Structure 1
Amino acid sequence: MEAAVRGRGSVLAAARRHSVAVRQNGTVVTVGDGRAGECDVDRWENVIAVAAGNVHTARNTGKSHTVALRADGTVLATGWNQDQQCDIGGWRDIVAVAAGWRRTLGVHSDGTVLATGRTAEGACDVETWRDITAVSCGDWHSVGLREDGSAIATGNNQRGQCVVEDWRNLTAVAASCVQTIGLKHDGRVLTTGTPASGAGDIGQWEEIVAVAAGSHHTVGVTAAGRVLAAGDNSHGQCDVADWRHVVAIAAGSAHTLGLCADGTLVSAGNTADGRRDVTSWANIRRPDVD
């Protein structure tokens, strides 16, 4: 899951079985499994950022939801709504959105955070958060980035994925199944939690400008547009070494997406349900264009 950044937002999103992107004209394109309505975005307009509810691959997971931030600060949502994760119709003055398993977060223009969805693990307990500039959703925990570069987290902490109180000088955060990633001003990356399959083997990464966290893999973009990946590669989701000139990334449960500077899309990982059928996408919005 890619972090949602205040004032910019994510132009790509990858979930359990589908992928989403924002076009330059403010419409949205999706591919993949839409069994719960998560791909019903044909009428959406004036969108500047998207998010998709991701969750680890398991027999009892699959349904998802898609969220979009509009230029006027309102929010759209479609798809699985068992825990009211799509009940965002009254949200206003939102500047960033993030989606996780059965959960949606929205950063308000005053730096507070709104949440709707599953409450069992405490991942929606964000009422006291202040001065937030970015948010990200893992499976059972939520992470926020403050204006001063520190981080805050809430929810399931059984693997230590919420132990971020000592982090400083951050520019972005990203949350996965049982891991949290922090990107520092100097291009280095921090991690906490106990990820499987080496997804935390990122301590030597340098010159990173963007990060994304899949369920059990981590992806980073360097200042030169190269892409690094670590973790579970059972579906080839970490086979990104040949990617060049990448300006945006997203990581789903078992697939990875990249937007190149020339507007083309690259993908790696699980091809099931058509979640990687993105080569025909055109005119996708760049993250550095307001």
Structure 2
Amino acid sequence: REGPFERLWIQPAAGDAGGALGAALMAWHDYLGRERTPATPDAMQGAYLGPAFSDDAIAAFLEREGIPHEHLPDEDALVRRTAGLLAAGKVVGWFQGRMEFGPRALGSRSILADPRGRDVQRTVNLKIKFRESFRPFAPSVLADRAVDFFDLDVPSPYMLLVAPVKGARIEGEGLERLRHIDAPLPAVTHVDGSARIQTVDDATNPRYARLLRAFEAETGCPVLVNTSFNVRGEPIVCTPEDAYRCFRRTHMDALVMGNYLVTRTMLPDAEAAVWTPEEVAAAYGLD
């Protein structure tokens, strides 16, 4: 919030993946002598650089595996149906378009939920992510509505900026604070009253922006819980096979891949494949 710079841009994959990108750029400029071209802020225009899967490819997978599903005829039906599930308190696996580059799920390989629910954080952590119940989740919010919910006046498209949640009141000390979070969006409010925010607009992810607007039409809230589509110990899902396997092994209520919907109620043996936390720990060598 205070510093020597008027504008700050952070590479969204500032880790091992970003280091590889930096090495390639250094070779391009320093070893090959290519001219450096100044870029405008956020010339990446989103981090959706990974593979995508067409509706035909998704349908072929569902048919091949004999998975019951529903085809939603267009994007309007897709976002309205998904928003209705989220407004009803369901947890949805959202698999759309090109996969994100970097560690954050930004609305292409995401697990989504209603941020207003007080039990959402605990439920998603314990029954879906298989991790500690207190771990915070990040919110996705329509860019033009972010200021209504967060003390944030700049874009945060890569979920890298932390800001106070407006109206949040936290009481107690230490772990006691976890039980005394009073906030309009408790599922995305950390014990210090902050959230790590992703702002979403039509330019970078139009389908996800439409879903947020549809959820706002249902609930008056243009914010969703957005956590990466994986369980503890696994990478983020990449393919339809990955997404369905993660969906089956957890307590997610619905899976939306492209224009196809699979709900847990469609599956005759839905609970048989769900992993326990102990099975997850054993599979991935976790404590």
Q: Could you state the TM-score of these two structures normalised by the residue count of structure 2?
A: 0.26
Greater share of helix residues, 1 or 2?
Answer: 2
Higher relative contact order (CA 8 A, sep 6+): 2
Q: When the two structures are superposed, what TM-score results if normalisation uses the length of structure 1?
A: 0.25
Say which structure is richer in strand: 1
